[in-house]
Amino acid sequence: MGITTITGPNTVTTVRTTELARLTELVRAARDGRPALVELTGDPGTGKTRLLTALAREAREHGLAVLHGRCSEAEAQVPFHPFVQALTARQGAGAEAGTRATATAALVEALTDVPPGAEQSVWRSPYFAGVRRLLTAGPAASPGGTLLVLDDFHWADAGSARLVETLIRWPVDRGLMVVVAHRPRQAPVALRAVLQQGGELGAVETLTLGALAAHRCAEVLGLSADAPELPRLYAHSGGNPLYLTALAEAGSPAGDALDLWTSSSLGARLLAETELLPAVPRRVVHAAAVLGSVFDIDAVAEVAETSRDEACRALSELRRRDLVRSTAAPGALAFRHPLLRGCLYADADACWRSGAHRRARDRCVRLGLPALDIAPHIERAGSGMRPADAEVLAAAARACVQAGRPAEAAHWLTSALRLGRRAGDGGSTGPADGELWKQVVRALAAEGDAERIVALLADVLAGPDGRSPQLRARAVAFLAAVLAALGHDEDAQALLAAELPAAQAASPGAGLLLRVSRQLGKVLAGQVPARTDVEVLVHGTDRADPVTAGGALGLAGLCAVLDGDMCAAEMSLDAAAQALDEVDSGRQAGDQEAGHLLVLSWAEALMGWYGPAYGHAERALTAVRARGDAHFLPPLLDTLGYVHYQSGRLADALGAVREGSAAARAMGRGDHVALSDAITAAAWAQLGRTSPRPATTGSFGRDAPEPRTPLNALLLAEASLASGDADTALALLLPEREAWRVSEPVAVFAARNYELLAAAAVQTEADSDTLDAWAERAAAAASATGLVEQSGHALLARGHALMGRALTAEAARCYGEAQRLFGDSSPAGARARELARSAVRLTARRESSGLDELTLREREVAELAGEGLKTKDIAGRLRVSPRTVDVHLTHIYSKLGVNSRAALVRLMALAG
């Protein structure tokens, strides 16, 4: 099923192919002289008229004469109006001639000059018998058959309905096809009964146009069946073609944009249904539109300022017109569609509408209805809003937060703050509650909706929390941290820059808080602050509170770590930990404290201090979860995941980054997703399994690139090496595959980077000079940082170089020392242990390789095979047959305990 679409004056297309095909069959029958009567029903907007237009074109192409009459409410009392309209148009076209013309003229005269009471006669009366004869002799006598279309027949007069009954009970004997189209909810009972009886007699065929299927809606809109906007449009339109196209053209998600529709073609069409409404029903329908999509009689009567009886009569009239309908709830009525309500709402006088909203508000408050029911009336009450209404709007915002609808919560919060400001409310309720606006901001942040947070800034800072320098600075710092954590660093920095001068002038503490927040925001946005800027901050924190001072020290420590200045990093981080730990009295960490604990824990993790890093991250995470600070979840969980991974708690690492990745995707933070994916891949590789495929970037709420960072590359390279894929590891660490042209890695990761390059070189059988070079670089990098973990990686790299020179005993000692530095639980420690065992086994095998058991000729064959010569080359060199060489190789394999040429080559290389 589908909708007829008119694309030009002479072009009609339709996707209601099933119905049109059936009607076309009846057209052919009429052309062949067989009469038919069709009832076409459907709700407003289902496409009856457009389908009839397509049918008329088909009929003309088949040679039928087409007569078209349309009923209207204004002419509902004019006898036989649709028939006279159709016949008069036919006469005006000059299509009739001779006897048919005379009969048609006589028929028009009979229908216009109706004897008194004739139109009320039974169908068997002489009057209707005469009209039938004239119809048969005139219009129905067209040689190619005749199509008579009677549209909107629910407005037909009694005589027209009686004439249709005559044609049902006493069909003409010519090729006349009659199509009666009507809205079943608005059609009189008598008409519906006549058509139903005709169907039971087999004289009437009924076609009902229902809602479109989803794939047909896609055809109507020119969309693919899997278009993302289609489900929303389909749900809000109910599959009704008229509403579907209106919503698609407007780009509105629903019919609640109440001022959108009156100027549109849809508005004109829907409001035309109310054009002849009397004054009371019109006021009642406007009152119902003010109340909402669902309402009851008592509410309508009070808002419309009329009696209950008058309201009841008016609503009965509106139901008869199918403007409103009953619902499943007893006593509740609803508009036919929200779009109709929107048109009627906008059609009401604006001043009257404001008063109606005030009356609706008063009624809702009196009845104790929920805040979300009252809030729309408060918002639209105009100058009639009261200061107490701000608390209701605030309650509506709270309800939306609890219901998981942050966008609506932001809307009601904005209204509450503005109303409170207009009323001069400095107080302690509703919009003055600082926790409310923070709850809304947190809920918006969880969905990555930074745009609405930015829109809230002015109203929040103009509220109670913006009236004192200290409260305002804290509010600004919180908002900037949220925006930065969502990746909107420009908005965060602009906010802080705008507020900083006034804060510094008002209070040194407030100014310092915002200055530290500027640097914290850069870290949260994935950037690295300038070390000099952070060090200037540290020198100015002598009189700062412990949290701000600890935050500045933590930022300084992070910058020093990334610069490779480990002495300065250690001093700053120790001081930061002491400052932040002193304020830990078992209470929940505050907003700013959680951000600084995050920075501190990440810097400690980079230093390899996994115990303190875990403690500080867990302390921050506990507070973040309790408050609902979703914007801190991705970096905190990535930090914990990395700490768990480095500590060998692989299951915990996977659990942390799984949660963090989901939160990051919701917020559009691709950098955090990338780190989560890298930790996931590395952890699964350590477990001997392949990482599950991560979700695609299409799941982000907004575009979010996933950059390759040094740490991501290291983790993914470790995963590749654990899987035996050295080429991928080299591609990650050396994109240009030019070892000496690659830029130096971050100092804290340099030794680890070079060790992985050496490990990959071993797997790809690189020459010993390359291995020595990577080992020397790793040793220099480890010496520069002085970190125990990096020294372990330098020892691993040296072990790889020794293995390349077949010095297995020395390599085993390097691997063993590295294992002692790493510890047994970490992935690096486990790798060092396995490498040490492998080197020991090779040493033992070399010492007891069994070469002494070989005969002289077997030793010669083994040495040549160890050089990589093939069987025929060995035979040529020793002047023996290839078969003899194969026999010797068989004996050699047995004596040495190897089973392949490659194993023999490795053994001979180790044997020197």
Neighbours of 423 (CB within 10 A): 16
Domain count, the chain: 3
- Structure token digits, residue 789: 């973990």
Pull the structure tokens for residue 661. 């990745």
Last residue of a domain, one of 146, 176, 210: 210
Structure tokens at 810: 């020395």
CA-based nearest residue to 147, from 209, 208, 213, 95? 95
Question: Whose structure tokens read 């698609």?
Answer: 248
Is residue 162 domain-shared with residue 119, that is, in the same domain?
yes
CATH number of the domain bearing residue 172: 3.40.50.300
Separation between Cα atoms, residue 412 and residue 422, nearest integer Å: 15
Residue 178 domain-assigned (yes or no): yes
- Helices then strands, counting H and E runs in the chain, come out as 43, 10
Is the separation of the CB atoms in 550 and 531 below 8 Å?
no
Tally of CA atoms within 13 A in the half-sphere of 45 that contains its CB: 25
- Please state, in angstroms and rounded to a whole number, the distance separating the CA atoms of residues 877 and 871: 10
Q: Which helix (H) or strand (E) holds 149?
A: strand 146-151
* 130 and 70 share one domain: yes
* pLDDT given for residue 261 in this prediction: 52
Pairing state between β 332-335 and 324-326: antiparallel
Which residue range is the domain that position 894 belongs to?
851-911
Structure tokens belonging to residue 39 = 């009832």
Specify the DSSP class assigned to residue 606.
H
Contacts 24+ apart (CB under 8 A), 398-402: 398/371, 398/436, 398/439, 399/370, 399/371, 399/372, 400/372, 401/439, 401/440, 401/443
Do 51 and 191 fall within a single domain?
yes
892 and 752 belong to one structural domain: no
CA distances from 301 to 186, 277, 711, 904 (A): 24, 17, 69, 100
Q: Is 543 contained in some domain? A: no
**pLDDT (0 to 100) of residue 96:** 56
Judge whether 346 lies within some domain.
Answer: no
pLDDT, tens digit, 9 for 90 and up, residues 424-454: 654 444 554 678 999 999 999 999 999 999 9
Domain boundary among 159, 177, 210: 210
Would you state the structure tokens that stand for residue 49, as one six-digit string?
A: 């008229």
HSE-up of residue 835 (Cα within 13 Å, Cβ side): 32
Residue 841, in any domain of the structure: yes
How far is it, in rounded angstroms, from Cα 275 to Cα 340? 14
Distances (CA, A) of 423 to 273, 381, 426: 42, 15, 9
Residues 50 and 188 in one domain: yes
**What is the Cα–Cα distance from 349 to 344, expressed in whole angstroms?**
10
Domain membership of residue 229 (yes or no) is no
Same domain, 803 and 877: no
The pair of structure tokens assigned to 422 is: 């207009």
- Give the bridge partners for 180, in sequence order: 39, 150
Residue 700: the pLDDT is: 40
106: its two tokens: 């006589």
**Residue 40 and residue 132 in one domain:** yes
887 inside domain = yes
Residues 65, 139: contact at Cβ < 8 Å?
yes
Q: Which of 185, 210, 235 is the last residue of a domain?
A: 210
Asked if residue 840 belongs to a domain, the reply is yes
| Dihedral angle over CA of 499, 502, 506, 510, nearest 10 | 20
Distance (Å, whole) CA 2 – CA 212: 6
CATH number at residue 736: 1.25.40.10
Instruction: State whether residue 333 is helix, strand or coil.
Output: strand
Please state whether 442 falls in left (phi above 0), alpha (psi between -120 and 50) or beta: alpha
Amino acid at position 343, single letter = C
**Does one domain contain both 181 and 118?**
yes
Helix (H) or strand (E) holding 826: none
pLDDT of residue 904: 78
CA distances from 92 to 53, 84, 88, 718, 728 (A): 20, 12, 6, 88, 83
815 and 869 part of one domain: no
Residue 447 to residue 449: CA distance in whole angstroms: 5
Flag residues of the chain having pLDDT under 50. Answer: 1-12, 253-256, 426-429, 432, 695-707, 738-742
CA distances from 529 to 493, 577, 596, 626 (A): 12, 20, 14, 29
Nearest to 513 by CA among 559, 555, 539, 477: 477
Enumerate the β-bridge partners of residue 38: 179, 205
User: Same structural domain for residues 121 and 32?
Assistant: yes
Residue 374: both structure tokens together: 């009252």
- Residue 745 counted as domain residue: yes
Q: Which residues partner with 177 through β-bridges?
A: 36, 147
Does 898 lie in the same domain as 866? yes
Tokens standing for 715?
Answer: 């983790």
3-class secondary structure, 68: strand
In three-state form (DSSP H/G/I as H, E/B as E, the rest C), the secondary structure along 519-555 is HHHHHHCCCCCCHHHHHHHHHCCCCCCHHHHHHHHHH
Task: Return the CATH number at 882.
Answer: 1.10.10.10
Same-domain status, 831 and 862: no
